[in-house]
Amino acid sequence: MRRNDNSNLNRRQFLQRTSLTVGLGIAQVAGAASGRSVSIVLDPADEIASKPAVRWALGELGRTLTAGGVLVRQHHAIHQAAQEDFCIVAAGAVSPLAREILESARATMPAAPEAVGLIPGRVGRRAVLLACGSDER
């Protein structure tokens, strides 16, 4: 059996591969039913989620989903997303919105640098997938 050695990946290559993998997984889930769409919610007031590296990663995710035939919509608040959309919330782990979702999922995020989480949770009665991190990396 051949060993998969990715030790020579730089951060950008790692993020590209991770974004592609996550995007394809979400595209399969969201695109399972014909005509499904995904809403990506990013609060511009969130100091971490509004950083250029995060916006770049969300752009990659959006392009991957679109390439998989999924309609992608971007919003600044959850209430703007259509009820039938699969909803992804991008937020810094300490933001009020992320804390609400983490609490609904009974999950926690480590305060360590570069910590990342993909957590299914709820905002009110709406199911969401929280993509959060302790910093923009």
CB-CB contact of 39 with 73 (8 Å): yes
Q: Per-residue pLDDT for 93 more than 70?
A: yes
Residue 99 CB burial class (10 angstroms; 0-12, 13-18, ≥19)? middle
Structure tokens at 92: 């810094």
More confident site: 74 or 25: 74
Q: Per-residue pLDDT for 121 more than 60?
A: yes
pLDDT value, residue 20: 54
Cα 115 to the chain's mean position, in Å? Answer: 14
Quick check: is 47 in a domain?
yes
Q: Per-residue pLDDT for 59 more than 70?
A: yes
Quick check: is 5 in a domain?
no
Q: Give the span between the Cα atoms of 74 and 80, in whole angstroms.
A: 9
Domain of 102 in residue numbering reads as 11-133
Quick check: is 2 in a domain?
no
Average confidence (pLDDT) over 22-31: 53
Q: Per-residue pLDDT for 62 more than 80?
A: yes
How many domains does the chain fold into? Answer: 1
Q: Per-residue pLDDT for 1 more than 50?
A: no
With pLDDT > 90 as the criterion, what percentage of the chain qualifies? 17
Average confidence (pLDDT) over 19-36: 54
Q: Per-residue pLDDT for 34 more than 60?
A: no
SS3 130: strand
More confident site: 133 or 104: 104
Quick check: is 3 in a domain?
no
Average confidence (pLDDT) over 71-90: 92
pTM: 0.72
